[in-house]
Structure 1
Amino acid sequence: MRWAKWILPALLALNGVVMMLAPTWWYPRVPGVIETGALNTHFVRDIGAAFIACALAMGWAVRDPVRGLGAAVAAAAFLTLHATIHLITPFCGPKPWPLLARDFPAVFLPAIISLLVVWSCVRRQKVKA
């Protein structure tokens, strides 16, 4: 089961690479994205770069929890802030629960897992001390 810890970095990297290389293909295929406004390929690529940076940070933290803690915190901050936007926005409309359920696997779950990675790194720091 050692491979399971690499799922988050791999999925973040895959999403980021597709966003950067094929933003017009990515945009209509992710549920809810087209409801946010018109496609801006530059913006999609910018966010793709952030996802790749998060993938690298989480990969570093998984490989070396002690040295990768700072990188994991930065990645978890982006993913958690992104999830917070997705948490707040649905409540501006009439039916928030379906939107929250739709966003859970791709937005909220990565943020939760990233926070668990940070927690694991912190625990490793305490063990080393």
Structure 2
Amino acid sequence: MSDPKNTHAVDAIAAVNKGHSVEREVTDVFSALDSPRRVRLLSVLWEADGQLSLPTAVERTVARERAGERTNGSDRSNERVRVSFRHVHLQKLSAAGLIAVDDAEERIRLTVESEHLRAVLDSAARLTQSV
């Protein structure tokens, strides 16, 4: 019997990337959520009504990491986080259809509805706890 919460997450993922198979979407989205830093960024964006400047997103993500969430302490400087966003995390989230990045304006915005993102983040948290 399938878990209705996971079914809701699959429906939410299907809403993320129209035009692709659900299996591919699930793989892409969960691959993008494989990093605690990317999950933190999505949560920061969600709490900011879906859009922030890159510097603000970096500052808020670093603040969360310093507040006690698990991360490698050497990666906490704003500059290192900004570089990791630019070279790894933003590309991964964008490829999964979760965010859009305006390089000229240095702005990041969510590309999914809030309830869909919340369902995906909740499902990812449950999967992480059950492992």
Structure 1 or 2: larger strand share? 2
TM-score norm. by structure 1 comes to: 0.29
TM-score norm. by structure 2 comes to: 0.29
Q: Name which structure has the greater RCO, CA cutoff 8 Å, separation 6+.
A: 2
